[in-house]
Amino acid sequence: MGSLIHRAWIAVRAAGTVSPASPAGYRFRRLGEGACLSFPVGAVFGEAWIEIGAHTLVGERVSISAGMGPGVDLGPDSIVRIGGSCSIGRGSHIVGHQSIDIGDHVFTGPYVYITDQNHVYDDPETPIGRQWPRNNPVVIGSGSWLGAGSIILPGTRIGRQCVVAGGAVVRGEFPDHSVIAGVPARIVRHYVAGEGWLPPHLGTVRAETGVPHPGEAGIGGARTEPAGSVGTA
């Protein structure tokens, strides 16, 4: 009986997987060749504004959404873009309202949360959940790894080939080849050509903010959120 149940579950999972050839796959703006969303699928809506590249694997119970809810016209452009050959860990959430760009070959651990929207608290008398939220685009560079349980907040720009430690809460801008950790997240390692991976005080990036020294190339460090914003959506 146990073997029969396991075989049946394998068949159900295969039948429930969303792929370019399945009816559910047609709802996406783009679902590349070999891409799939594993069964059981999480909350997915706004597919017409979601692009997923070729050979990207989306794990079980991953929620991907564009907009506040189903059935809303979000305009002519896509909102959530996930590149090719990515792996999105089970239980993760990607919540897009304006623009989330995830490059190619990006891997995440389970339960990663990525959003481009914050609730605000400008009016002290109105419940925070009823105040109009604030959007800020998110970019995650190709080849990066996001550890389990990390949170990527609105306005974040992560460069190429970066590592985000598990549980980090990331907000701001970080250059290519950074190791980002902590709450709030800071650069703890940065790759310097010819020298390898160095702590910030030995590389070209200031430890306190992740900002390159004046005159150096690269993306800046953690920005502060505008007044009236909370750190999660």
Asked whether the predicted pLDDT for residue 55 surpasses 60, the reply is: yes
**Cα separation of 152 and 232, whole Å?**
9
Rounded to the nearest integer, the mean pLDDT of the chain is 88
**Cα separation of 119 and 57, whole Å?**
30
- Phi then psi dihedrals of residue 3, to 5 deg: -65, -40
For the segment 21-39, what is each residue's pLDDT rounded down to a tens digit?
A: 999 999 999 999 999 999 9
Using CA atoms in the order 47, 50, 54, 57, what is the torsion angle rounded to 10 degrees?
-70
Asked whether the predicted pLDDT for residue 181 surpasses 50, the reply is: yes
Q: Residue 68: pLDDT band by 50, 70, 90 thresholds?
A: confident
| Residue where the block lists tokens 């079980």 | 60
Asked whether the predicted pLDDT for residue 40 surpasses 60, the reply is: yes
